[in-house]
């Protein structure tokens, strides 16, 4: 080692410690900020979510606190882009709540990489498609029609919910397309879900009619998103008519909407799934 070696090592160690300290301070500051927002806004947010989101309304007090804490963190790290529509505080709150609902049983819930949520007034044109879109997910973020988002939450029993639908696409996008924000348990268990789901999807493509909306037969990505909509909005009927598919979703998402606590087990207590290459 050169005479300056120990000094360089000391400087390097000091720099690493300084970076770690800065990260700890930043994390502490973020948590304090979220706590202040939580204390100041929790009653208003609770009332709004209780009015529009039946899933949130059914949670216990402890579950609602956990939901709100995750929700505030999600909103903090996302940018909301309003296109041809005036911003309203309820928009990021209610849209973000669909992401928290979907990922409530998962450890990683921020849908990293998809940093922007684009909120549009109504249906819109995208690319070369002739049919207007209610929502889509791309590398540029998550896109949603606000008018359809609100309309479909007013009927929480028809199995159609564009918010949950697009968040389902977002979840598989971050896990299988970019893997930034990947949840290991979800990623690894998706293969087990597909073992049950793909035969049903293939039969639907062959003309079989099921509880799931016919749009599920479009392609496997849409089948997955329609399953999510039905899982939350028509849980009892789903469990009764397609029990194996329902319970495979419960395992994949680590939650059962029909149980009071929703979450089945702490994410860190998951058994390791069989080794397999997961894909969507």
- Taking CA atoms, 224 is separated from 56, 113, 241, 248, 259, in Å, by 22, 21, 17, 12, 22
Is pTM beyond 0.85? Reply is: no
Q: Are 224 and 168 in contact (CB under 8 A)?
A: yes
Backbone angles phi, psi at 136, to 5 degrees: -165, 170
Backbone angles phi, psi at 119, to 5 degrees: -110, 120
Measured in Å, how far apart are the chain's first and last C-alpha atoms? 52
- Rg, the chain, Cα only: 21
pLDDT in tens, 3-37: 566 676 666 667 666 666 654 555 445 445 555 65
Residue in the structure block whose two tokens are 């709004």: 48
Does 226 have pLDDT greater than 50? Answer: yes
- Taking CA atoms, 12 is separated from 1, 6, 17, in Å, by 15, 10, 9
The CATH class that applies to domain 10-269 reads alpha beta
Residue in the structure block whose two tokens are 């793909």: 198
Q: Are 103 and 168 in contact (CB under 8 A)?
A: no
Q: What is the pLDDT of residue 22?
A: 56
Residue 228's SS3 state is helix
- Whole-angstrom distance, CA of residue 216 vs CA of residue 93: 28
Q: Are 191 and 277 in contact (CB under 8 A)?
A: yes
Does 270 have pLDDT greater than 50? Answer: no
Q: Indicate the pLDDT class of residue 271, thresholds 50, 70 and 90.
A: very low
> Which residues on neighbouring strands pair with residue 28, listed in sequence order?
none
Q: Are 239 and 227 in contact (CB under 8 A)?
A: no
CA atoms 182, 186, 192, 195: torsion sign: negative
| Angle 248-254-255 from CA coordinates, rounded to 5° | 90
Q: How far is CA 14 from the centre of its chain?
A: 39
Extents of the domains making up the chain:
10-269
pLDDT in tens, 92-125: 999 999 999 999 999 999 999 999 999 999 999 9
pLDDT in tens, 39-88: 567 889 999 999 999 999 999 999 999 999 999 999 999 999 999 999 99
- Whole-angstrom distance, CA of residue 74 vs CA of residue 36: 15
Q: What is the pLDDT of residue 170?
A: 98
Antiparallel, parallel or unpaired: β 135-138 and 79-83 = unpaired
pLDDT in tens, 173-221: 999 999 888 999 999 999 999 999 999 999 999 999 999 999 999 999 9
């Amino acid at each position: 080692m050169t005479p300056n070696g120990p000094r360089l090592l000391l400087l390097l160690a000091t720099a690493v410690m300084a970076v770690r300290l800065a990260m700890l301070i930043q994390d502490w500051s973020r948590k304090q900020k979220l706590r202040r927002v939580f204390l100041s806004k929790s009653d208003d947010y609770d009332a709004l979510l209780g009015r529009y989101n039946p899933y949130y309304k059914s949670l216990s007090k402890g579950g609602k606190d956990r939901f709100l804490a995750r929700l505030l963190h999600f909103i903090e790290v996302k940018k909301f882009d309003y296109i041809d529509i005036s911003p309203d505080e309820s928009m990021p709150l209610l849209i973000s709540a669909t992401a928290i609902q979907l990922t409530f049983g998962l450890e990683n819930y921020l849908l990293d990489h998809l940093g922007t949520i684009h909120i549009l007034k109504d249906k819109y044109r995208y690319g070369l498609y002739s049919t207007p879109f209610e929502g889509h997910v791309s590398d540029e973020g998550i896109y949603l029609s606000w008018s359809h988002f609100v309309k479909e939450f007013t009927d929480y029993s028809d199995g159609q919910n564009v918010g949950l639908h697009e968040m389902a696409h977002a979840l598989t996008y971050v896990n299988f397309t970019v893997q930034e924000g990947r949840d290991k348990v979800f990623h690894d268990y998706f293969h087990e879900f597909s073992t049950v789901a793909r035969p049903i999807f293939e039969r639907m493509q062959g003309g079989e009619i099921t509880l799931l909306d016919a749009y599920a037969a479009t392609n496997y990505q849409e089948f997955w998103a329609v399953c999510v909509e039905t899982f939350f909005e028509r849980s009892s009927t789903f469990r009764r008519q397609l029990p194996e598919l329902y319970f495979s979703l419960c395992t994949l998402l680590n939650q059962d909407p029909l149980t009071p606590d929703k979450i089945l087990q702490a994410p860190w207590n998951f058994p390791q799934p069989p080794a397999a290459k997961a894909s969507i």
